[in-house]
Amino acid sequence: MKNKKTFNLSLLNTAQREAVEHLYGPVLILAGAGTGKTRTVISRLVNMLRQGVKSSEILAVTFTNKAAIEMRERIGQMIPKDVAKEMTVCTFHSLCVRILRKDIEKIGYKNNFTIYTASDQVGLVRKLISRHSAKDESLDHNFAISLIGRSKNKGIPVSDKEGTLIGEIEAAYNNELKLLNAVDFDDLLILAVKLLKEDSSIKNFWRERFKFITVDEFQDTNHKQMELIQLLSGSDQNVCVVGDDDQSIYGWRGAEIKNILEFERFFKSPKTITLEQNYRSNQGILHTANSSISHNVGRRSKSLWSKIDSKENV
C-alpha cells in the first residue's frame, strides 16, 4: 500500500501504540484532553487495513459532520483515496439514514421519507399548539419540542405533570409526521434501533457489513446510541469506543455518562487503554487540573502528565 504519509508506530507513545495494535474484541480507549486521541484513532483505522481488514467492513462514527469530514480527510492522507472511500466514516444520524432508506418499509414508512429540520419542527409544533390550545392556555414551542425529543429518547410519553396540552401536542406531532411520511432527527435513531431489533435478517446484514466499529466522543452517547452500537456489533464484538468521562458536557440532551463508566456491563471483558501523556500543557497546569478534577464523583481514574516541564503550579 503506497501512502501519502508514512505509517510509523515509533511516533506513538506506549499507550497509543497499544491502542493502535489491539484490533480485536471490545476496546475502551480513555483519552484525556490533549493526549493525541485523533492521531491514535486514525492510526488504528489505518492499521486495520495493514492487518488485512477490508476497508468496506470498517465503520467509524462520530457526532458532527465537521468531525466526520476531518476524520475522512486525515485517513485520506495516509491511504489511497479509493480505499478511503470504501470506509464508512459518518455521524450517528447519517448511519441511521442509510439503514432506514434500505428497509424502513418494514416498519410502515416509505423509503423516500422526509427528514424534518429544526425549522420544520417549529412550524409544525406552532400549528399544533394553535390548533389544540384553549384561549387561556399558552405553550412555548421550543419547550414543547424539547419535551417531545426527551420523551422519544427515553421511550416514555410526556408525563401528566407536564400538563395535558403537551401530551396532546406530542401525540398529534407524532401522528402528523407519520401521515406525512416524515421523521425528525430523534426518530432516525429510534426507528433504526426498532428496525434492527425487530428484524434479525436486517440486523445480520449490517453486522456482516460492518465487522469493525469505532465510536469517537463516546462520553456523549445516549441510551439509544449505545443500543444501536450493541445491535450492530456481531459475536466478535470488534467495537472500539474512544472518549473521556471528564469531558462529558451533553447530559442535558440525554448523554449517558454510564455508557463509558459502565462499559464492561455492555461489552464482555473489554480491553481498557488509558492515554495520559498530554502534548498541549506543561506539568504545572496538569498538576492543578488533576488535583481539581480528582474530586469529581463517578469518574474513570486517570492522571494526565507531560514532558513539558514547569517550575510552578497554576
Instruction: Please identify which residue in the block is written with the cell numbers 409526521.
Output: 177
pLDDT of residue 177: 98
User: Which is nearest to 61 in space by CA: 17, 28, 95, 98?
Assistant: 95
Q: What percent of the chain has pLDDT over 70?
A: 84
The dihedral built from the CA positions of residue 33, 64, 119 and 192, taken in this order, carries a sign that is negative
Longest CA–CA separation in the chain, Å = 71
Helix (H, G, I), strand (E, B) or coil at 212: strand
- Tell me: the pLDDT tens digits for 38-63? 999 999 999 999 999 999 999 999 99
pLDDT number for residue 281: 67
> What is the DSSP secondary structure assignment for residue 76, as one 8-state letter?
H
d(CA 43, CA 264): 25
The C-alpha cell of 160 is what?
A: 401528566
Render the burial of 148-187: b for 16+ CB within 10 Å, e for the rest: bbebbbeeeebeeebeebbbbbbebbbeebeeeebbbbbb
- Region 93-101: what's the mean pLDDT? 98
CA dihedral sign, ordered 175, 152, 191, 203: negative
Please give the pLDDT value at position 143.
Answer: 92
Higher pLDDT residue, 313 or 294? Answer: 294
Q: What value does the mean pLDDT take over residues 218-232? A: 95
Query: Phi/psi of residue 305, each to 5°?
Result: -140, 165
Give the tens place of pLDDT for each residue, 244-293: 876 665 554 567 888 999 999 999 999 999 998 888 767 767 666 656 66
Here the cell at position 92 is 450517528
Q: How many residues does the chain have?
A: 314
> Average pLDDT of the chain?
88
Categorize the per-residue pLDDT at 154 as very low, low, confident or very high, splitting at 50, 70 and 90. confident
pLDDT value, residue 297:
58
What is residue 289's predicted lDDT score, i.e. its pLDDT?
63
pLDDT band at 2 (very low <50, low <70, confident <90, very high): very low
The angle that helices 185-198 and 200-209 make with each other, rounded to 10 degrees, is 110
- The per-residue pLDDT for 137 is 64
pLDDT classification of 121: cutoffs 50, 70, 90: very high
The predicted pLDDT at position 7 comes to 76
Q: Would you state the pLDDT for residue 302?
A: 76
pLDDT, mean of residues 138-166: 81
- Answer for the pair 151, 157: CB distance below 8 angstroms, yes or no: yes
Nearest-Å Rg of the Cα atoms of the chain is 22
CA distances (Å), origin 302, targets 32, 269, 290:
8, 20, 8
What mean pLDDT is predicted for residues 165-179?
94
CA dist., res. 211 & res. 59, Å (int) = 8
What is the per-residue pLDDT across 20-42, written as a single tens digit (0 to 9) for each? 999 999 999 999 888 999 999 99
What pLDDT shows up at residue 308?
80
Which residues sit opposite 272 in a β-bridge? Answer: 28
The answer to which of 95-99, 227-231, 243-247 has the lowest mean pLDDT is 243-247
Of the chain, the percentage scoring pLDDT greater than 90 comes to 67
Q: pLDDT value at position 249? A: 53
